[in-house]
Amino acid sequence: MNLTSLTITQTHQGLLKKKFSALELAKAYLRRIEKEDKKICSFLTVFKQSALSQAKITDDLILQNRKIPLLAGIPCAIKDNILVKGKRCTAGSKILENYTASYDATSIEFLKAQGAVILGKTNLDEFGHGSSCENSAFIKTRNPHDLSKVPGGSSGGSAAAVAADLCCCALGSDTGGSIRLPASFCGVVGLKPTYGAVSRYGLIAMASSLDQIGPLAKNAEDAKIVFQAISGKDPFDSTSVELDKKIHPVKCRFAAISRTAKLFNRVKIGIPKEYFVKGMNPKVEKIVRNAIKKYEEMGMKIEEISLPHTEYALAAYYLIMASEVSANLARYDGIRFGSSKTNSGINPFGKLRVDGERSRTIKNLLDVYLQTRGEGFGEEVRRRIMLGTYTLSAGYYEAYYLRAQKIRTLIKQDFDKAFQKIDVILTPASPVPAFGLGEKTTDPLAMYLSDIFMVAANLAGLPALSMPCGKIGKLPVGLQIIGKPFNEETILETGKILEN
């Protein structure tokens, strides 16, 4: 049996039936990482010892015939901007190269509570800034379907690891598409939950009003299992929400409906005309339209809708996101956080960034800041900090940040209106399949355009899923399914229909 190709459900069954042990499973994944990840480069750090010890704990429980949770012994990978206690967490940045997390993110606590086996931390664009995974300070991850292509970003390491069977499932984060875009490029399922569904505590903040942690998985059911494990109210994140059926009565409605095939005709699907743009790859359009047709053939009602402010979404996102980035990244100053050879941090000046020769040029505090940030941050991060500082400064605030916020409201209202008459929205995940390594690195605007179908869901705080729906040659194409707030179940069930 090929252990590394199993889904969560299959792996769980295998463990229960004692077809293999959790230790064998963890070893199989670790071996595969050692062999395959040399060419894919999805992991930044692998936790061999702790993974094996955790697997052993699951085996002991099984031996004692104790009931184990669904994720017990399941090998997973974590994007390297989510804190795992006692482990290095770099956010893909030189500035955090030696930073060790002093606590677990809440989502990690939830995974650990179930006994999940954390195999290691995966590569990302520095602080999540990018759409190709090429902005990491450390390595460039490759697309497992074609090593000359990017895996998408910023959770490219997590998506590639799931696609290449280097883990059973993974966590990513999505501020402007960072779970869904790499999921679509790598042909896996990626879910960005509703804003507030999953705690952001322990996620290295990019743009706090947009950030969400979510799963990348081999199928929709697995994504659901991980989502259910990590979601819920957390006292450490005041924006998190209890996913109680009483508060969100609609949450489970569709699940019940979809189980009864003949009731399909009660679900209405909206296709926004603004998401089929000129210049998109015609093969992508054809594959996505085919997927939509399949839903229609199954008796679901399809309706064209309009989300009229879509064309302003990308501009609004890049203004709001950069503004928040400039505030969130101010803490990396070489005093509180910043690169250092050691991370003991007893003497705050032990944390100063620049060593040896150059440290002599530091005469005052400003020099510390300038050198630490100048050398610790990569080009794209510096670009966003400068842009965000500009859009928040007196005299420009009203013209840029405030206007972008007003557009954000209009975009949210577009969705509110559409969702009065439909249940889910289907769009392409990206106008193009995975592009070549290096193809867009010199043109930031071309890179930003990759997010064109992604960012509206973040601005409106809605749950959105990318599902594989076909291929162009070797390269996967993703279908995006957007739902009403806290209707994760609905979009996941819609995704499952396509899978079947």
Q: Return d(Cα 448, Cα 334) in angstroms, integer.
A: 29
Give the residue with the Cβ less far from ligand GLN, 161 or 321: 321
Cα separations (Å) of 215 from 108, 189, 212, 465? 12, 8, 10, 10
Give the residue with the Cβ less far from ligand GLN, 58 or 135: 135
Prior bond of 238 cis (ω within 30°): no
Output the smallest distance, CB 105 to ligand GLN, in A: 16
Is 154 one of the catalytic residues? Answer: yes
Output the smallest distance, CB 174 to ligand GLN, in A: 5
For the chain, the straight-line distance linking the first and the last C-alpha, in angstroms and rounded, comes to 23
Output the smallest distance, CB 380 to ligand GLN, in A: 8
Q: Which of 134, 174, 237, 414 binds ligand GLN (CB under 6 A)?
A: 174
Output the smallest distance, CB 458 to ligand GLN, in A: 7
Give the residue with the Cβ less far from ligand GLN, 206 or 217: 206
Contact segment (CB under 6 A) with ligand GLN among 38-46, 49-57, 157-165, 169-177 equals: 169-177
Give the residue with the Cβ less far from ligand GLN, 15 or 464: 464
Q: Return d(Cα 389, Cα 129) in angstroms, integer.
A: 16
Strand intervals (E) in 124-256: 169-174, 189-192, 212-217
Asked whether 202 and 162 are in contact (CB, 8 A), the reply is no
- The answer to whether 75 contacts ligand GLN (rule: CB under 6 A) is no
Which of 79, 87, 121, 149 is flagged as catalytic? 79
Binders in 272-331 for ligand GLN, by CB under 6 A: 321
Taking CB atoms, the residue at the shortest distance from ligand GLN is: 178
Give the residue with the Cβ less far from ligand GLN, 14 or 92: 92
Binding mask 31-60 for ligand GLN (x = CB under 6 A): ------------------------------
CA 454 from centre of chain = 12
- Sheet containing 424-428, strands listed edge to edge, beginning at the edge strand earlier in sequence: 43-46, 117-122, 75-79, 169-174, 212-217, 189-192, 464-472, 475-483, 424-428, 268-272, 301-305
Asked whether 291 and 470 are in contact (CB, 8 A), the reply is yes
Q: Which of 154, 194, 372, 391 binds ligand GLN (CB under 6 A)?
A: 154
- Write out the H or E segment, with its range, that includes residue 432: none
Please report the DSSP string for 446-461 in residue order. HHHHTTTTTHHHHHHT
Q: Return d(Cα 396, Cα 430) in angstroms, integer.
A: 32
**Look-up of token digits 């620049």:** 354
Output the smallest distance, CB 345 to ligand GLN, in A: 27
Contact segment (CB under 6 A) with ligand GLN among 124-132, 233-241, 271-279, 330-338 equals: 124-132
Q: Which of 128, 182, 196, 431 binds ligand GLN (CB under 6 A)?
A: 128
Binders in 195-234 for ligand GLN, by CB under 6 A: 206
Residues contacting 438, CB < 8 A, separation 6+: 134
Is 294 one of the catalytic residues? Answer: no
The dihedral through the CA atoms of 123, 126, 128, 133 has a sign that is: negative
Is 323 one of the catalytic residues? Answer: no
Q: Which of 451, 488, 489, 493 binds ligand GLN (CB under 6 A)?
A: 451
Output the smallest distance, CB 381 to ligand GLN, in A: 10
Is 77 strand, coil or helix?
strand
Neighbours of 391 (CB within 10 A): 21
Which of 131, 178, 184, 339 is flagged as catalytic? 178
- The answer to whether 131 contacts ligand GLN (rule: CB under 6 A) is yes
Which of 136, 154, 340, 450 is flagged as catalytic? 154
- The answer to whether 178 contacts ligand GLN (rule: CB under 6 A) is yes
Q: List the catalytic residues.
A: 79, 154, 178
Residues at the site binding ligand GLN, with contacts judged by CB under 6 A: 128-131, 154, 174-178, 206, 321, 451
